[in-house]
Amino acid sequence: MAVERGAAVNTLVSYGSDLRRFAEFLDCATSAATPEDLRRYLAHLQARALAASSAARHLSALRQYYGFLYGEGIISDNPAANLESPRKSLTLPKILSEAEVERLLETAAARVRGDRDVKNLRLVALLETLYATGLRASELLDLPRNAVAGDQPLLVVRGKGGRERMVPLSGPARKALHSYIRALDAGEANKGSRWLFPSRGKGGRLTRVRLFQLIKALAAEAGIDPRRVSAHVLRHAFATHLLANGADLRAVQKMLGHADISTTQIYTHVLEERLKALVVEKHPLSLQQKQ
C-alpha cells in the first residue's frame, strides 16, 4: 500500500491494526482462513456494535490483504472475494453558517487589533487559510515556510498519498499570512525553521492537537459551542459555502483533494437538507399549517 498506492501513514497504521486484530481472532494462520472465518469475524465486529464505517474499513483491509496474497500466488483462492460490505448510513458533515464563520474570523481579528502579538497573527492566518482553501489540518500544518512567496494567488499543497494540488488563496488569507510572516521574521524564536507554522515542540511545527485547542478556545470566545467547531468543520464550511454560492462540484473536488467525486457529493446532500428545512420553516403554506 505504501509503495503502490502511496497510502498515508495513518492509513497504514489503521490497516495494520485491523489485520492484527483479525489474526488474533483466528484459530489458524491468516493464509489458511476461509470465507466462513471472515464472515464470523465481521459478525463478531457487528456484535461489538462497531460503527458501519469502521466495519467497512476492516473489510477493506481484509480485501486488500487477501487480494495481495492471491495476486502473489501465496493462496489459491481469495476468501474475501465475495464478501458483502456493511451498509453505511449517510452521515452529513457538521457545518457552520457563513455568519458563524464570520464571527470566528472577527473574534480572531479583534485579538489582533488589541495586540499584534505573533500568536494572535498566527491564529488569524490559520483560520483565514483553513476557510479560504479547505485544507485538511495536516496539510495546513505541513506547509513549508516557502509555500507563501510574494503575492502568488495559489498554494501548492501535498495531500494524501503525496499527491500535489494547487489551491487558490484569497486576498484576506494572503494578507493574514503576510502579516503573520513579517511578525515571525521580526522575532528571534523559530528562525531558520522550514515550517510555515513552527513551534518549539518535538516536531518543530504546530501540532494538530494544539490547533484543535486554539480553535475550540476561539469558538468559546465567539459565543459558538466549541463542540461544533474544528479545523475539519471549517473544511466542510469551505466546500458547502462554495457550492451554495454557485461553485462547480468538480472544482470543489479538486480544491479539496478528493480522489473520487462521490466523496465531494456529500456536500450536495447538506445543501438539499438545508433547502428542505428552509421550505418547512419559511414557505407560506408551511406557516399556515403550523397556525
The set of catalytic residues is 136, 160, 232, 235, 258, 267
As beta bridge partners, residue 154 has 168
Query: What cell numbers appear for 255 in the block?
Result: 480544491
Distance CA 185, CA 284 (A): 58
Distance CA 143, CA 197 (A): 8
Distance CA 280, CA 192 (A): 57
Residue 87, Ramachandran bin (φ over 0: left; ψ between -120 and 50: alpha; else beta): beta
Query: What cell numbers appear for 280 in the block?
Result: 418547512
Could you tell me what percentage of the chain is helix, strand and coil, using 3-state DSSP and rounding each to the nearest 5? 60, 5, 35
| Exposure on the CB side of residue 240, measured as CA atoms within 13 A | 23
Distance CA 80, CA 172 (A): 51
**Does residue 213 contact residue 228 with C-beta atoms inside 8 Å?**
no
SS3 sequence of 158-220: ECHHHCEEEEECCHHHHHHHHHHHHHHHHCCCCCCCCECCECCCCCCECCHHHHHHHHHHHHH
